[in-house]
Structure 1
């Protein structure tokens, strides 16, 4: 029995009311995906929004679920076997993709999130700069996340990209809610699931009448705010910074 079975602590009442449930993850941790799958089995959502799939890929996956492994393998994300429990738990839920096109991701650095997002940018707060303290904090977090190996002046662009992606995921979840009804689930990294400035905050700003619940599946202790937290054992992995270290 995997430890996630022992550590999984999401109670059914937590999913009784929210319109949108955001399920965070550590991308390469199999226990995170087992936990997300169990959450989906409890929730039985009408639709599941994936950070990892484009709208076109999700449409193809939704139309022919036998093609999901092949579609996934072309997405550039970790091996499909890690995510198979999630897809096995979908039931009748529709598959929705929220991954931004690569050309948009690249353009955010030069043009800014608001320009790429479109006319809805003010609704999600993309037309305004972040508070100075939050901007500084987020740039420092990006610097650490990239092993302190990239120039600090690039971190503002990283933060802008994160804001853009959070807004894209939030918009996709709201559109799925309008189309399919509640509850909708979102599968995304823990950084996107955090309640202070991630997808839940974007939804609260854009559609304050919509209720959300965010769960983080975290290794060790939670250093981000969530509505609920499930602690999972760390995955076995090589040092992600090893290739960037100099002798």
Structure 2
């Protein structure tokens, strides 16, 4: 897929954005760039591909992929969307259409791809015993106590409210603390993988993830700044609809919502 294709796709994104939010400029000294998305919005992926093509990162961390999936795709032609998607096991993992994500792989020519997903057993441990407990045995150069320690009561309550809203108010209250810990653990894993890439000299590093994980107050950037404040991190939140004020991102784009079924219907 050509650079011209990516530029056309990016132009389509920009036409859909309110003018005040259309100009995304990544600082030249950023070492880790978090590119958020609404997972099923193709405009968000086109914008990620445009930014990746401009940045030419040395490493790309994927929320959607495990190290094993990355390994089993080695040697596969990254220009062949069908072959690459099959090698990654993308469809079986349940993520939206790989055709939306493939241009990011094409744009990141020469980059090392890294898996940032969390194994189910560790995720369950985080939910039941806490994120800090689940971290035992993970990377020793990333101090988890700085990022995964107990939350202040008001912070805990706010995060539980967010999880309740994200799950359409359908979760029993006793499950909400575990959902918060699972989210924190995912953030810590992706932060750790990105920081390891920085340690290995693979800067700039791009992280492809959901916009919730890109939040500077509680997401991956917050984890990085707590554990390694000397690392320069920049975060893009991609939203749908009119963005509000004082949102927790370093940069913002907003598009019209992509057509989808009511996500709360599954809980009814």
Structure 1 length as normaliser, TM-score?
A: 0.92
For 1:77-116, list aligned pairs within 5 A: 77-116=95-134
The count of corresponding residues between Structure 1 and Structure 2 is: 243
Given the superposition, is the C-alpha separation of residues 127 and 47 from structure 1 closer, same or farther in structure 2, using an over 3 Å criterion?
Answer: closer
Greater mean alpha carbon deviation, residues 150-159 or residues 52-61: 52-61
Q: Distance in 2 between matches of 1:62 and 1:133?
A: 45
C-alpha contact 1:139 1:155 (8 A) present in aligned 2:
yes
Match of 2:203 in 1: 182
Q: Distance in 2 between matches of 1:221 and 1:196?
A: 21
Structure 2 length as normaliser, TM-score?
A: 0.85
For 1:144-163, list aligned pairs within 5 A: 144-163=165-184
Q: Which runs of 5 or more residues in structure 2 are unaligned? A: 1-7
Alpha carbon RMSD of aligned pairs, Å?
Answer: 1.8
Match of 2:266 in 1: 243
Match of 2:135 in 1: 117
Q: Which runs of 5 or more residues in structure 1 are unaligned? A: none
Q: Distance in 2 between matches of 1:5 and 1:178?
A: 34
Q: How big is each residue's C-alpha offset from its partner over 1:166-225, in whole Å with a ceiling of 9 and x where there is no partner?
A: 000000000111224210000010110000011001011111110011001111134641
For 1:185-196, list aligned pairs within 5 A: 185-196=206-217
Greater mean alpha carbon deviation, residues 40-49 or residues 118-127: 118-127
Q: Distance in 2 between matches of 1:62 and 1:22?
A: 24
